[in-house]
Structure 1
Amino acid sequence: MKKLMICLLLLVMICSARAETMTVIERLDMRVHLSQTEFAGPQEVEVRIIVYNLSDEDRPGTLALYWPNGKMIEEFGTPTLKAGERLEWTGTWLVTQNQLDAGKVRFGVKYTGVNALGLPVTREGYVAAGIIALDNGEGPTAPVLVMESNPSTGFDWSWEIDHEAVVAVSATYVSDMYFDVPEMVPPVGSGGRTRFQLTGLTPGETTITFAYKRFWREDTPIREVICRVSVDEDLNVTILSSKDNEYPDSMFLPEQ
């Protein structure tokens, strides 16, 4: 019986040690920034990648970055990040038509992590910057309004058109960053932009009211933009005036 109790005690101690090993949490933050996010076509852009070890422990192994074409970024090397260490790399990349069609530029990452047993393992994933392909300019003028937004906060944009037969509004949300890296710290609050394109349907004038609020509550919008627009015989849309409650002294102009 005494031997059985000793065995049970040893088993409990082993399980406790194993449980402590399994609580290892990887705290790696990685961000990609482009010097430009809107493109009329393929174009070279400056890229800045920041990698940050948020843990109070050194990384268990090396980390490497990869170009969108899958080749390793040799200039970055294969560093091992110390506790709290932040590394930054800057280079250039030619944004391709395929990336414009996909709406993002992806950069790969491969690093040494730790599994549930506390053993080193190789993990890989990607972080991508959101990009926008601009209209080629053919056809009637269809202005685009760009407004900051962050759905992760519960807020989002809605709009109302006084005369829906005159103009149509289409909205596209573009995140500042997309990512798929195992156990990586989510980029909380990074947000993005919502692009509203105004397309003429029939000649006339109307008013469009954009509201930024939480839809499950009846709160007053924290931002409201009111635009007066006109549509001519060729269905070109012109913004006649605008009023923004967040920036009351400035006219809200469409993107160039």
Structure 2
Amino acid sequence: MSMMRTAAAAAGLLALAACQTSGATPSAAGDPVVAVRDGQTTLRPGQTVAIALPSNGSTGYAWSLADFDETVLMRSEPFGQEITGAHPAGMVGVPGQTHWRLVALAPGQTTLIFNYARPWEAGSPAAETARFAITVR
């Protein structure tokens, strides 16, 4: 009986390690994995990765996602949606977060690169860049 418990515990730890990422939040079945900014996130096919970046649309700045390998990850919802905290109607300058979710499709690697810039300032460097390395196994 003790040997069965040890084997079950080992199997549970291996399963948890398989869906862990370097510093990312482990998820229960069906819950999204929170991606690690400037780090590595590892997923299994079918898992969802969630990314939230601080934003303030009233400044004119917006996050945009550069091309990524769509054979590895598929867009999901929300995708690029800015959500602000509660505030009085008509109040401007309220900070929020822009959210993305992507679903792991097949084994592979891709890097998600987000640029925070004003769309009308083409050619100007982004005010901020965020990178997320994603591996699907």
Tell me the amino acid that sits aligned with residue 30 of structure 2: E
Tell me the amino acid that sits aligned with residue 71 of structure 2: A
TM-superposed CA distance for 1:164, in Å, is: 1.9
User: 1 CA distance for matches of 2:114 and 2:74?
Assistant: 13
Quote the residue 1:212 is aligned against.
116
Matched position secondary structure for 2:103: strand
Residue 161 (1) aligns with residue 67 (2)? yes
1:131-162 CA-to-partner distances (Å, cap 9, x unmatched) read xxxx9842732121211101111000100133
Q: 1:217 to 1:176 in 2, by over 3 A?
A: same
Normalising by structure 1, we get a TM-score of: 0.33
1:156-204 CA-to-partner distances (Å, cap 9, x unmatched) read 0100133222113423221113544xxxxx3221121111212112221
Where do residues 16-95 of structure 1 align in structure 2 (5 Å cutoff)?
none
Residue segments in structure 2 that go unaligned for 5+ positions in a row: 1-26, 32-45
Taking only the aligned residue pairs, the percentage that are identical comes to 26
User: 2 CA distance for matches of 1:148 and 1:231?
Assistant: 26
User: 2 CA distance for matches of 1:171 and 1:200?
Assistant: 17
1:176 to 78, 85, 97: 85
2:129 to 212, 220, 224: 224
User: 2 CA distance for matches of 1:171 and 1:199?
Assistant: 14
**Residue pair 2:55, 2:96 contacting (<8 A) in 1 also:** yes
More strand by share: 1
Quote the residue 2:30 is aligned against.
138
User: 2 CA distance for matches of 1:136 and 1:175?
Assistant: 27
Count, aligned residues: 93
User: 2 CA distance for matches of 1:161 and 1:227?
Assistant: 13
Tell me the amino acid that sits aligned with residue 85 of structure 2: D
TM-superposed CA distance for 1:214, in Å, is: 0.3
Q: 4+ residue stretches of structure 1 with deviation over 3 A?
A: none
User: 1 CA distance for matches of 2:47 and 2:73?
Assistant: 12
Q: 1:151 to 1:136 in 2, by over 3 A?
A: farther
Quote the residue 2:41 is aligned against.
none
Matched position secondary structure for 1:225: strand
Quote the residue 1:197 is aligned against.
101
Aligned-residue RMSD, C-alpha: 2.3
Matched position secondary structure for 1:228: strand
Tell me the amino acid that sits aligned with residue 138 of structure 1: G
**Residue pair 2:56, 2:97 contacting (<8 A) in 1 also:** yes
Point out the structure with max Rg over C-alpha: 1
